[in-house]
Chains A and B, each alone.
Chain A
Amino acid sequence: MTDTKEILTVQNLDVTFARSAMKAVAGVSLSLGQGKVGIVGESGSGKSTLGRAIMRLLPPSATVTASKLTFDGNPLLSQSEREMRALRGNRMSLIMQDPRYSLNPVLPIGRQVAETAILHKGLSKSAARAVAAEMLDRVRIKDVARVMESYPHQISGGMGQRVMIAAMLLSRPRLVIADEPTSALDVSVRGEVLELLNELVTADGSSLLLISHDIRMVASFCDRIVVMYKGRIVEELSRLSDARHPYTLGLIAAMPDARHPVHRLRVPDRATFDATERSGSPA
């Protein structure tokens, strides 16, 4: 359950790209304690941009402003790049969608996982390898010795994602941002990866921010659901059945449900959301 102690506090976060007048993320406020929070929204809703803004990983063309953005007592926006580098991968980690793109294709798996330990724990090469092997075992990789010598193209997608999780969670980060960690995986492997994330995050008492387009998965996995639309948070829920906002209701209605078969699916009407957005927004 959510702890009272806050790990991440975001207040009024805005992101704009280049000279565009559109805000990719507009006035987002969020606070995370221990536990799992899911961010859902469709493509272009700003959910991934929000995750990257927290990690300060947006390109230089992006302008990020916030009245408050603190992680574990550190004001993130005023940190230097050097200070950020000490935080990233150490106390805050980002797990990305596709292991095929986020692992280095020309380095063996073992070296990539050990790198975290060398960089952030100051371990020697051989000690780091031992830690990496232990971590790979924790993410239930069977033949650890063989996998450590393998290259990313030699392992399956599910295994690759477990390797990523091992590398990202090795330093026991306080905050894990997982951006569509299971979208590239098969349904049967997806459950396994989520369970693993859950286990590690709970064991370390960390905070998990799960970014996904799959509202169903987020609802069954997370303690809180944050729904984003056009860069704004439209609703924060603890259960899907509490949804009131027309956008959330529209998303739910648009999903085919095997329990309640219909001949035609309801297509959400964007004009109505935009109208409620305009009339319903406080400022």
Chain B
Amino acid sequence: MSMIELQDINVRYHSGKSENHVVRGVNLSVARGECVGIVGESGCGKSTLLRSLVGLEGHWTGSISINGEALGPIRTKDQLRCAQMVFQDPFASLHPRHRIRRALSEPARCMGLPVDDARIAAALEEVGLPASFADRFPHQLSGGQRQRVAIARALIVEPPVLLLDEPTSALDVSVQAEILNLLSDRRDERGLTFVLVSHDLSVVAHMCDRIFVMQNGGFVDELSPADIGAGEARDAYARQLLAASFLEELA
């Protein structure tokens, strides 16, 4: 059974002459436990697609269903809970004047889940941080630690689906390796379904089972990690992306 089902998703801003058609007729089906990657350059609509999926965007048309339930632009608590997002920049996605405890307890409270210190401590330990970090402010953490908090924040409401929008592009390679390992471990453990958006083809090839190349709001090609390793693609634009990624250097 598929976890995420998207049919003919279109997102348009404005109308008439200034119409901006951002996402054009996207169809996507993601199986339970699968990790699907989306690559493309800025402005191709990949983040807008994720935002429509998670419920941050209300301007879409088409049909979205997650976990077998059809979703509209306005969602109930339970519907919002089933997909959580991890954003690119851990410096911008945490409130600078809220302690980590509050950053973690707020989403749980909003979803009407019981939350106490033990729950927070468990959530922090799950992402490899000591429980004492609950008393810290975001500026007292490094970039990698903040991204761990962002992942803990997403996981605390126990969603079946995690949407990752460039989760490691603000991080150094060694920290990126730690975060990607953490995400794989949590996925194996909880059977999570991932949709990962990134511009880094090697990251996407490492994490994902299937990769879609997006251009001008639509998918133009579907690749497997092996295709990326071999540098093969059917679509001309996808080939251009592969060629520009300096994948050949680490033979």
B173 at the interface (CB under 8 A from A): yes
Contacts of B240 in A (CB 8 A): 188
- Indicate the size class of the contact surface on chain A: 35 or more
Complex CA distance for A266 and B178, rounded to whole angstroms: 8
Q: Within the assembled complex, what's the spacing in Å between the Cα atoms of A191 and B207?
A: 24
- The answer to whether B177 touches A266 (Cβ under 8 A) is yes
Task: With both chains docked as a complex, state the minimum distance between the C-beta of B177 and any C-beta of chain A, in angstroms.
Answer: 4
Chain B residue numbers with a CB within 8 Å of A191 are 243-244
Residues on A with beta carbons closer than 8 Å to the beta carbon of B246: 214, 216-217, 219-220
Q: Are A187 and B199 in contact (CB under 8 A)?
A: yes
Would you call B225 and A254 a contact (CB within 8 A)?
no
Chain A residues, CB < 8 A from B247: 216, 257-259
Which of B241, B243, B250 has the most C-beta atoms of chain A within 10 angstroms of its own C-beta?
B250
Give complex CA distance A233, B105 in Å: 44
Majority secondary structure of chain A interface residues (helix, strand, loop or mixed): loop
Q: Are A254 and B228 in contact (CB under 8 A)?
A: no
Given A240-B250, A263-B184, CB of A255 within 8 Å of CB of B173 = yes
Q: Does A265 contact B (CB under 8 A)?
A: yes
Check: B76 CB closer than 8 A to any chain A CB. Answer: no
Chain B hits for A186, CB < 8 A: 41-42, 199
Bound Cα distance from A189 to B244, whole angstroms: 8
Interface centre among B41, B174, B241 (most CB of A within 10 A): B174
B46 to chain A, nearest CB (A): 12
Pairwise interchain contact A215-B173, C-beta atoms closer than 8 A: yes
Task: Determine if B249 and A216 form an interchain contact, defined as CB atoms under 8 angstroms apart.
Answer: yes
Q: Which residue of B lies closest to A183 (CB)?
A: B169
Per the bound structure, the CA–CA distance linking A39 and B230 in Å amounts to 28
CA distance A256 to B143 in the complex (A): 20
Instruction: Indicate if A62 sits at the interface (CB-CB under 8 A).
Output: no
B96-119 interface (Cβ within 8 A of A): none
Which residues from 198 to 221 on chain B have a C-beta closer than 8 Å to any C-beta of chain A? 199, 201-203, 205-207
Per-residue CB contact flags for chain B residues 161-203 toward chain A (1 = under 8 Å, else 0) read: 0000000000011101110110010000000000000010111
B184: A residues at CB distance < 8 A: 263-264
Chain A positions within 8 Å of B41 at CB level: 186-189
**Residue from B180, B199, B230, B248 within 8 A of A256 (CB atoms):** B180
Residues of A172-226 at the interface with B, using a CB-CB cut-off of 8 Å, are 186-191, 213-217, 219-220
List the A side residues contacting B199 at CB < 8 Å: 186-187
Is B251 positioned at the interface, with any CB of A under 8 Å from its CB?
Answer: yes
From A187, A214, A264, B244 is in contact (CB under 8 Å) with A187
| 11 CB < 8 A contacts A-B | A43-B172, A187-B245, A217-B246, A250-B174, A255-B173, A255-B202, A256-B207, A257-B206, A258-B247, A264-B181, A267-B174
Supply 6 further A-B pairs (C-beta < 8 A) apart from A256-B202, A261-B225, A265-B206. A42-B172, A42-B173, A186-B42, A187-B41, A257-B247, A265-B181
